[in-house]
Amino acid sequence: MKFIVIEKEHRPHVALIRLNRPKELNALNLELMRELKQGLQELDKDEGTRAIVIAGNERAFAAGADIKQMAGKNSVDMLKIDQFSTWDQIRKTKKPIIAAVSGFALGGGCELSMLCDMIIASETAKFGQPEIKIGVMPGAGGTQRLTKALGKAKAMELVLTGDFLSAHEAEKHGLVNKVVPVEFYLDEALTLAQKISAMSPLAVALAKEAVNRSFETFLDEGLHFERKNFYLLFNSEDQKEGMEAFIEKRPPKFTGK
């Protein structure tokens, strides 16, 4: 594996997956996501693993999908890449997953943290869906999961402005389980995972499934709608302009085309 590292030595029955593209703030390129899917599938089958922690580093959990990889794509390219099958596989992991978030959790990074079952955040964590600033919209569940967690008003604000939510605000709104000083966030997440791994693995898997079921029927419909609109935007000039402007480090000029 090139873009993730799996460590099992921290706590009994707990596996830690570290996202490992530090220079790019762990931007989620296709290869990283494929490795993450594969790693989670292996750990889900591994009898010695009962709980999983996903972490980035102190500066970034993940700053989103890789804009440089997406910039030139149109709707058909995006459909053909079928990245959703990877994200759907991650969603099907039976064992509990805790996101340990420090620094940026933006776009796909925020969506990945929300796809996990719980979030432990460092005081420096910043959550956001800034896709609007590069001419698109959230595509991996952000419009649905953020709205369920924060309520309509706050979610709408974040999705339409691209503003970030601080760790303490995220805790206040119930997006994260706990906020701790940056030096403890990983330890805290591993300790929570260890606590869960002492329970019956079967009961944990079925209980996780049941909690998720509480909103999944509506979620499926919402995700389908979000995906359709997300793909549509990849045939707009504003998507090209927004992503090129990011890469060229200049403000975008949106025209509505």
Contact between 96 and ligand DAK (CB under 6 A)? no
The CA-atom distances, in angstroms, between 119 and each of 115, 175, 216, 244 are: 10, 8, 19, 32
DSSP conformation class of 28: B
Q: Which of 39, 56, 96, 107 binds ligand DAK (CB under 6 A)?
A: 107
Phi then psi for 89, rounded to 5 degrees? -60, -40
Per-residue tokens: 239: 């998507």
A 10 A CB-CB count for 17 gives 21
Please identify, using beta-carbon distances, which residue of 17 and 70 lies nearer to ligand DAK.
70
Active site residue 131: yes
According to CB under 6 A, which one of 35, 117, 131, 241 is a site residue for ligand DAK? 131
Residues in CB range of 9: below 8 A, 6 or more apart: none
Q: Which of 39, 96, 108, 135 binds ligand DAK (CB under 6 A)?
A: 108
| Binding residue (CB under 6 A) for ligand DAK from 134, 146, 176, 193 | 134
Q: Which of 65, 116, 146, 167 binds ligand DAK (CB under 6 A)?
A: 65
111 catalytically annotated: yes
**Three-state secondary structure call for residue 150:** helix
Q: Please tell me whether residue 93 binds ligand DAK under the rule CB under 6 A.
A: no
DSSP SS3 for 108: helix
| Catalytic position from the list 39, 107, 108, 109 | 108
| 9 part of the active site | no
Rama region for 256: left / alpha / beta (φ>0; ψ in -120 to 50; rest): left
Q: Which 150-209 positions form the footprint of ligand DAK (CB under 6 A)?
A: none
Distances (CA, A) of 169 to 28, 56, 123: 25, 21, 10
Q: Is 209 designated active site?
A: no
If one asks whether residue 68 binds ligand DAK (CB under 6 A), the answer comes out as: yes
For residue 234, state whether it binds ligand DAK (rule: CB under 6 A).
no
Quick check: 135 binds ligand DAK (CB under 6 A)?
no
Using DSSP bridges, classify how beta strands 51-55 and 4-11 pair: parallel, antiparallel or unpaired. Answer: unpaired
Among 15, 27, 116, 190, binds ligand DAK (CB under 6 A): 27
Q: Which helix (H) or strand (E) element contains residue 182? A: none
Q: Which of 60, 65, 100, 170 is catalytic?
A: 65
| Catalytic site positions | 65, 108, 111, 131
What are the residues binding ligand DAK (CB under 6 A)? Answer: 24-25, 27, 63-68, 83-84, 87, 104, 106-108, 130-131, 134, 139-140
